[in-house]
Amino acid sequence: MRFSFVSLLLAALFSSLAIAHEYKVGDRVMVIADAKLAAAGRGETDEVFLGLFLDVNAVNNKWLWVGQGKPGWLDKKNVIPAADAFDYLTKRYSREKSNKQVMLALAFLWEERQELDIAISLYNDLIKLDPRNAIYFNNRGICWKDKDEYDKAIADFNQAIKLDPENTFAALNRGTAWYGKGEYDKAIADYNEAIKIDPKDAAAYNNLAWLQATCPNPIYLDGQQAIINAKKALELTAQKDANCVGTLAAAYAEAGDFAAAVKWQTKAQDMYSSDDKSKWGFLLDLYKSGKPYRKTLD
């Protein structure tokens, strides 16, 4: 009883801090309570839960526009700044070691901090506790993918899909793993499968457009189709997702419309987080010089 009371006090403390914090576009936040996203004219668009890390793409008073493919508005009382996540989760975990949701959130945290081996270890423990949970396999697969261990990643995504055939994230993530291996036909097939499962998932359209606009193998390049898919992703994100805006810029560059590429990349640059500004800042000069971006294989 004492532990649950302390946890309630901790949640109340961080919730009050969350409400007081003033967010801006480009901020990174972590979800501290299960909540629903909503968008005008579309109602509820998605659900978020403890431990998810999200980028703030727009701010309207207490509402933050966030999401992972199906974005919407989220009350800021349900998030804290990403910089406070370690303190929050380690304190909760010290009191709730048997809580699988807290364990999952802690794995997200280590993944966010690129401590992938620690995250994988936590996912291993979660899989032992619940071997039929597709989320655990999907998320461990993401860690393997980020370590460039694509075969292990694909095996985990396969298992996630076997457990939950309607898992859009697993299909989408397997596509990115195939992309990392240079197997573009399989990547395209998985992106299309993700769209078939959920035609309102912007991330699938965005990833497909990015491949069509930047693929190292020229036979897969298709600037006009990339523009169509990128515009669909933009429509589904209400033009508030910086990555989708940047993808449309890349699509226009591949199609040879560098004026449009510069226009949209300038907009993306204004929306990026500080890390993404550094990562993608070179693209504006590239498009101004009349050159499209080509993804290179490491």
19-45 per-position pLDDT tens digit = 668 999 989 999 999 999 998 777 888
For residue 12, pLDDT over 60 is answered with no
Rounded-to-integer distance, Cα 261 and Cα 196, Å = 29
For 200-298, CATH gives: 1.25.40.10
Rounded-to-integer distance, Cα 238 and Cα 149, Å = 34
For residue 98, pLDDT over 80 is answered with yes
Tens digit of each residue's pLDDT (9 = 90 or more) over 227-258: 999 999 999 999 999 999 999 999 999 999 99
For the beta carbon of residue 181, count every other beta carbon within 10 angstroms: 17
Question: 150 vs 135, 176, 183, 295, CA distance in Å?
Answer: 18, 9, 11, 18
Please give the single-letter amino acid code of residue 258. Answer: F
The pTM score is 0.85
Buried/exposed code over 153-165 (b: 16+ C-beta within 10 A; e: otherwise): bbbbbebbbebbe
Confidence at residue 263, expressed as pLDDT on a 0 to 100 scale: 98
Tens digit of each residue's pLDDT (9 = 90 or more) over 42-91: 788 889 999 999 999 899 999 999 987 788 999 999 999 999 999 999 99
What architecture is domain 114-186?
Alpha Horseshoe (1.25)
For the beta carbon of residue 118, count every other beta carbon within 10 angstroms: 16
Rounded-to-integer distance, Cα 281 and Cα 283, Å = 6
Rg (CA), the chain: 20
Residue from 41, 112, 44, 37 nearest 67 by CA:
37
Question: 117 vs 111, 124, 135, 149, 154, CA distance in Å?
Answer: 9, 10, 18, 12, 17
Q: Hey, do 2-84 and 114-186 end up sharing a CATH topology, with the first three levels equal?
A: no
- How many percent of the chain have pLDDT more than 90? 82
Confidence at residue 43, expressed as pLDDT on a 0 to 100 scale: 82
Confidence at residue 7, expressed as pLDDT on a 0 to 100 scale: 47
Question: 268 vs 63, 196, 241, 263, CA distance in Å?
Answer: 21, 28, 8, 9
Spell out the residues 6+ positions from residue 257 whose beta carbon is closer than 8 angstroms to its own.
none
pLDDT mean across residues, the chain: 91
Confidence at residue 6, expressed as pLDDT on a 0 to 100 scale: 44
- How many percent of the chain have pLDDT more than 70? 92
End-to-end CA distance of the chain: 52
Confidence at residue 298, expressed as pLDDT on a 0 to 100 scale: 44
> What beta strand segments (E) does the chain contain?
28-31, 35-39, 43-48, 53-55, 58-60, 63-66, 72-75, 79-81
For residue 11, pLDDT over 90 is answered with no
Residue from 267, 27, 231, 222 nearest 283 by CA:
267
Q: Where are the domains of the chain?
A: 2-84, 114-186, 200-298
For residue 106, pLDDT over 60 is answered with yes
Spell out the residues 6+ positions from residue 219 whose beta carbon is closer than 8 angstroms to its own.
none
Least confident of 48-52, 134-138, 170-174, 293-297: 293-297
**Right CATH for 2-84 from 1.10.460.10, 3.40.309.10, 2.30.30.40, 3.50.50.60:** 2.30.30.40
